[in-house]
A and B are shown apart, each in its own frame.
Chain A
Amino acid sequence: GNSVTQMEGPVTLSEEAFLTINCTYTATGYPSLFWYVQYPGEGLQLLLKATKADDKGSNKGFEATYRKETTSFHLEKGSVQVSDSAVYFCALSDLGGAQKLVFGQGTRLTINP
């Protein structure tokens, strides 16, 4: 079945550091890919998405590129802020259901000032 694997956390960085959170997937066909973020005490919210190969999703300084050849969708940000501290989830849309997402395990990110 479809699955998502993302780097284990927790990840701790200093403010203004470069961030990469790795995400790879296994899927039949060409699913859409997503990054969701869960800030402390809040529900998940969509951070960015890409719907086809070579698409780049971007939002709030974060970027991720849909790489079909490496089945990856790594999340990057050039300069992180304390407010980026959260849990980040990589996900793909299961082609068997329009709104059925398969999530990775989540990566907890802490940014120190």
Chain B
Amino acid sequence: KAGVTQTPRYLIKTRGQQVTLSCSPISGHRSVSWYQQTPGQGLQFLFEYFSETQRNKGNFPGRFSGRQFSNSRSEMNVSTLELGDSALYLCASSSVGRNTGELFFGEGSRLTVL
């Protein structure tokens, strides 16, 4: 069974640009969540999507947005990039029900903002 796939794995942008990251969940998983990982703040929840609807949102500015498609694939977008947005962005998928909290993570997309 293929795991969670994130693209691109690495990217470099400059301040003020925008970026879109993509995530393909494990087949059959309908929930996709996104996390930001930085050395200073650790792992922080961005948002979660289920059946194309945002079900939860973390404490990030409106520049961070996401969406989910009918095939459960998800994208997140960051507009007007700032230096502090440099991070590893992790996508996780899960089935729903009794396995609450059991997330399957991708390897991440490492974003560098110059």
Interface residues of B in 76-104 (CB under 8 A from A): 90, 92, 94, 96, 100-104
Choice from A41, A49, A94 contacting B102 with Cβ under 8 Å? A49
**A103: which of B3, B42, B56 is its contact (CB, 8 Å)?**
B42
Contact with B along A41-73 (1 / 0, CB 8 A): 111111001000000000000000000000000
Count residues on chain B whose CB falls below 8 Å from chain A CBs.
26
Question: Does A34 belong to the interface (CB within 8 Å)?
Answer: yes
The stretch among B13-21, B62-70, B105-113 that forms the contact with chain A is B105-113
Inter-chain contacts of B103 with A (CB < 8 A): 44, 46, 99, 101
Interchain CB contact (< 8 A) of A89 among B31, B43, B48 = B43
| Chain A contacts for B105, CB-based, 8 A | 36, 43-45
Shortest CB-to-CB span from A67 to chain B, Å, is: 18
In the complex, how many angstroms separate the beta carbon of A25 from the nearest chain B beta carbon?
13
Q: Are A99 and B48 in contact (CB under 8 A)?
A: yes
Q: Nearest CB to that of A45 among chain B residues?
A: B105
Chain A residues near B90: list those with CB within 8 A: 43-44
- Cβ < 8 Å to B, chain A residues 71-105: 89, 91, 93-94, 96-105
Tell me the complex Cα distance, A89–B43, Å. Answer: 9
Interface residues of B (CB under 8 A from A): 3-4, 31, 33, 35, 42-45, 48, 55-56, 58, 90, 92, 94, 96, 100-108
Chain A residues near B (Cβ < 8 Å)? 32, 34, 36, 41-46, 49, 89, 91, 93-94, 96-106
